[in-house]
Amino acid sequence: MTTSVRTRFAPSPTGDMHIGGVRTAIFSWLTAKHHDGLFFMRIEDTDQDRHVAGSCRRILETFDWLGIQLDGGPDHASLQAMKSEEDYPGALNDGSYRGIPGPFIQSQRLPHYREWAEWLVANGYAYRANETPEELERLRADVISRKEVWSFREEMRLRADVDPSQPHVIRMRVTPRDGTTHLRDLVKGDVAFENANIDDTVLIKADGYPTYHLANVVDDHLQGVTHVIRGDDWLSSAPKHVLLYKYFGWEMPKFAHVPNVLGEDGRKLSKRHGATSVFEFRDQGYLPEAVINFLAMLGWAPGEGDEQNVFTISELIEKFSEDHIGSSPAVFSYTKLDWLNGVHIRRMPVAELARLLTPFVQAAGIALDSPELKAQFMAAVPLIQERIKTLKDAAGLIDFMFTDIPPVPAASLVDKKMDQATSLNALRETREVLAQLADFDPTQMEHAMRALAERLNVKAGPLFTIVRNAVTGKSVTPPLFGTISVMGREITLQRLDRAIDALSR
């Protein structure tokens, strides 16, 4: 039997997902899928103080939006069902998925941590301690005031005997005290830590909950995780985990500590750089495939001479390789995301784009509540497809087709290369040409209008410019004749009449 690759994303339920966390999740997911393995989620809620209600649901919703299917955790149907609920009680709690043993929420796995912590105590790899936080704080302050390195060791215990029936913590016993602990990391390479610098970390807290260090090792082993992919802020505590695997005698998973995402000023990406929550990107009109493409390339490149930048999801899955993840932190570039989003928009089938655009356009105040309006909108989409970078951009390009426009100033109805009389006449003639056009088709319209320009002895450009201003009220629009065609004869002639009227005063 071949061991299949299994990765996990293990967020804490402390709020909406940060875009940096999404990137880590994507790396994990791509690693699993590239090797045809499983990707699942586990909620790490061992700190009850930091729990934010509704987080689990929001995290699940993130994956739903991204289009990432979890092989463990709730399925899509469950997600839909819970949308009305404040949280998702029990959803991550059900049995096992595709051979991965649950539950998928750590607060439901307490017996496992207890069992293995006791095993460590019984085998000399851990011990009980009961110093209070205040006592520890005093100890720490004392050590630091002597300019020594703070690191808890069992001889520092204030009470040598701990009554197991009383509240206490379980700490790991770092052994051996000297020597080094090595970590072979897929991203960082070989990293060595002096055991003397690793402290006897708390494994089980006084409240009975495990700390991350114990919980992630126990869970990853029990759930068969083969690649631990996480932020490199975990690198410093990785030797503790290595030690635990050794104590338990468990096979070590592969580790990949991926660098942080930075803001444009080189500091850790945060609110003040712009959007950071994945939902902000969604609400600003970014496509999940563009976000995934962009995030995947932030710190990863196919390498080996392959210079591809734009990827579909399946291309990413095919080409991704966890050992090509870069080891230096990357700056999040909003402008590059914009470009990529535009690329993915242009590659999308028109009907699909129209579907995605609809809620954004409606939110901008354009009602699409009749079949006629919907059809008109459908016809307008091809005109804007290559002109928008986000779904939010669309409304501003087509609003004049659906809503009334303010009076057009006379000045914009006279082209610099034409005088007032010529312009007025040109608009009148345009009105006649359009009124008599048999078919309101862009190609025919353009022919007729070019013929008109010739007849009037004016250049086509200036003529089109004043017509554009007259019928759209804007100097920048999608191609004129396509636009006029979408607007229809009635509105177009109406606006021309208004312009003629304004100019003849």
Q: Does 475 bind RNA (CB under 7 A)?
A: yes
Closest distance of CB 167 from RNA, Å = 7
Q: Please identify, using beta-carbon distances, which residue of 75 and 444 lies nearer to RNA.
A: 444
3-state secondary structure (DSSP) of residue 151: coil
Are the beta carbons of 384 and 365 closer than 8 angstroms?
A: no
- Of the candidate spans 28-36, 65-73, 257-265, 421-429, the one that interacts with RNA by CB under 7 A turns out to be 257-265
**Best CA proximity match to 455, nearest among 422, 494, 503:** 422
Q: Does 299 bind RNA (CB under 7 A)?
A: yes
Closest distance of CB 330 from RNA, Å = 3
Interface of this chain with RNA, residues 203 to 232, rule: CB under 7 A: 205-207, 209-212, 232
Q: Does 233 bind RNA (CB under 7 A)?
A: yes
Q: Does 188 bind RNA (CB under 7 A)?
A: yes
Are the beta carbons of 45 and 106 closer than 8 angstroms?
A: yes
Angle at 279 between CA 273 and CA 281, to 5 degrees: 55
Please count the CA atoms within 13 angstroms of the CA of 280 that sit on its side-chain side: 13
Active-site residues: which are they? Answer: 271
Question: Which one-letter DSSP state was computed for residue 340?
Answer: H
Tokens 């011990």, located at residue: 127
Q: Please identify, using beta-carbon distances, which residue of 328 and 457 lies nearer to RNA.
A: 328
Distance CA 505, CA 501 (A): 7
In the chain, % helix, strand, coil (3-state, to 5) comes to 50, 10, 35
Q: Does 151 bind RNA (CB under 7 A)?
A: yes
Token readout for 491 is 């509105």
**C-beta atoms surrounding 85 within 10 Å:** 11
Q: Does 136 bind RNA (CB under 7 A)?
A: yes
Please count the CA atoms within 13 angstroms of the CA of 288 that sit on its side-chain side: 13
Closest distance of CB 269 from RNA, Å = 10
Q: Does 343 bind RNA (CB under 7 A)?
A: yes
**Best CA proximity match to 479, nearest among 469, 468, 493:** 468
Give the number of residues in contact with RNA, rule: CB under 7 A: 88
**Which residue from 50, 138, 182, 271 is in contact with RNA, where contact means CB under 7 A?**
50
- Of the candidate spans 88-96, 194-202, 271-279, 371-379, the one that interacts with RNA by CB under 7 A turns out to be 194-202
**Which residue from 480, 486, 500, 503 is in contact with RNA, where contact means CB under 7 A?**
480
Closest distance of CB 460 from RNA, Å = 5
Q: Please identify, using beta-carbon distances, which residue of 367 and 451 lies nearer to RNA.
A: 451
Closest distance of CB 481 from RNA, Å = 5
Distance CA 475, CA 466 (A): 9
Q: Does 10 bind RNA (CB under 7 A)?
A: yes
Q: Please identify, using beta-carbon distances, which residue of 14 and 75 lies nearer to RNA.
A: 14
- Whether omega before 371 lies within 30 degrees of 0, making that bond cis, reads no
Helices (H), 35-179: 55-66, 76-82, 110-122, 133-145
Q: Does 150 bind RNA (CB under 7 A)?
A: yes
Q: Does 329 bind RNA (CB under 7 A)?
A: yes
Interface of this chain with RNA, residues 305 to 324, rule: CB under 7 A: 305, 307, 309, 324
Q: Please identify, using beta-carbon distances, which residue of 479 and 488 lies nearer to RNA.
A: 479
Four-point Cα dihedral 222, 224, 229, 231, nearest 10: -10
Interface of this chain with RNA, residues 359 to 418, rule: CB under 7 A: 386-387
Q: Does 38 bind RNA (CB under 7 A)?
A: no
Distance CA 439, CA 186 (A): 65
Closest distance of CB 324 from RNA, Å = 6
Token readout for 181 is 């602990």
- Of the candidate spans 85-93, 128-136, 424-432, 433-441, the one that interacts with RNA by CB under 7 A turns out to be 128-136
> What separation in angstroms does the CA of 445 have from each of 414, 430, 434, 451?
21, 10, 7, 10
List residues bridging with 192 in a β-sheet.
Answer: 182
Q: Please identify, using beta-carbon distances, which residue of 104 and 300 lies nearer to RNA.
A: 300
Q: Which secondary structure element, helix H or strand E, spans residue 283, and what is its range? A: helix 278-283
Interface of this chain with RNA, residues 163 to 182, rule: CB under 7 A: 169
Interface of this chain with RNA, residues 85 to 124, rule: CB under 7 A: none
Q: Does 331 bind RNA (CB under 7 A)?
A: yes
Q: Please identify, using beta-carbon distances, which residue of 307 and 369 lies nearer to RNA.
A: 307
Q: Which residue type does 91 have?
A: A
